[in-house]
Amino acid sequence: MKIIRDLLSPDSTLGVRERIYQLLCLIAIFFSLGIVAPGNFLERMPLLLCFGVIVFGLMFVGMLWIARRKGLYAHALLCTIALGLANFGWFLNGGADGPAATVFLAAAMVFFALFRGWTRWLVAALVVANILLLFLLDANYPSLVVPYPNPAMRRLDMLLTVPVVTSMGVLMMAAMLAAYEAERARLARSRSSLEATLREMRTLKGLLPICSSCKKIRTDGGEWVQIERYISQNSEAEFSHGLCPHCLSVYLPEENNSAGSSPKAAT
């Protein structure tokens, strides 16, 4: 897809967090609308769960559209939607007996990719607290959870959902690593361009040790070289040779006389 190529291109102007944000939205859209929702219908899961997954998937579509068209990145809102989807699936998909707990693992990976510093650890603590609260509710208020109609349905749901969530986690990690690699490539190109620019802007600075007689300059290695050679090697300047009016009158007086100027005596 063109959008994926754009996000993983070193020429992209997006930062690494913006790349990851959009890639994670794409992954969430693909799995929620392309796999989970149709799979729930085929498994004859509660209709509320099926339509709820579709609604959450459309929310991810909206988040991606806003990011690409408006340049707005609502990291906290994106994570809130992901947590909402995980909690929603918990109560309508068997609770502790179902695969909804595995969704929290994928959600935790998203949060670690999108946040930085102490915020990352705060959000991780909130995810852990969320999971513990769900287990407590499941144990004390089992009527809140929609159970599986039979063990065979539970096994089928686990068989389909766990590989899907695992694949989702793998794709998330691949997307994050690809975004970082693309950012490294972009930074390397920027560095090369900057170094080239600095070489072009290179100028001579500081005190130059110069012979008061022959006017040669001493290099850092101790070698004495002609001033023209030194400047050419340490700048972008080039030399052309000629004679100033004074030297012309000294070394080529006949040329100076023919030009109508009065030659000056050599001192």
CB atoms within 10 A of CB 81: 21
Domain ranges for the chain, please list them: 2-199
Mark out the alpha helices in 93-116 (DSSP H runs).
100-114
Residues 126 and 78 sit within 8 Å (Cβ to Cβ): no
Q: What contacts 96, CB < 8 A, 6 or more positions away?
A: 134, 135, 138, 139, 145
203 φ, ψ (degrees, to nearest 5): -130, 160
What is the pLDDT, as a whole number, of residue 10? Answer: 65
The confidence band for 133, taking pLDDT boundaries of 50, 70 and 90, is very high
Q: What own/partner pairs with CB < 8 Å and gap ≥ 24 does 232-241 have?
A: 234/202, 234/204, 235/202, 235/203, 235/204, 236/200, 236/202
Q: Residue 75 above 90 pLDDT?
A: no
Give per-residue pLDDT as tens, 150-205.
Answer: 888 888 878 877 787 778 777 777 777 777 787 788 788 888 877 776 665 555 66
Q: How far apart are CA 214 and CA 248, in angstroms?
A: 20
What's 262's DSSP letter? P
How crowded is the C-beta side of 194, counted as CA atoms within 13 Å? 6
- Three-state SS annotation for 167-195: HHHHHHHHHHHHHHHHHHHHHHHHHHHHH
Give the pair of three-digit tokens for residue 254. Answer: 């006949």
Give per-residue pLDDT as tens, 205-240.
Answer: 667 788 888 888 888 788 898 888 888 777 767 777
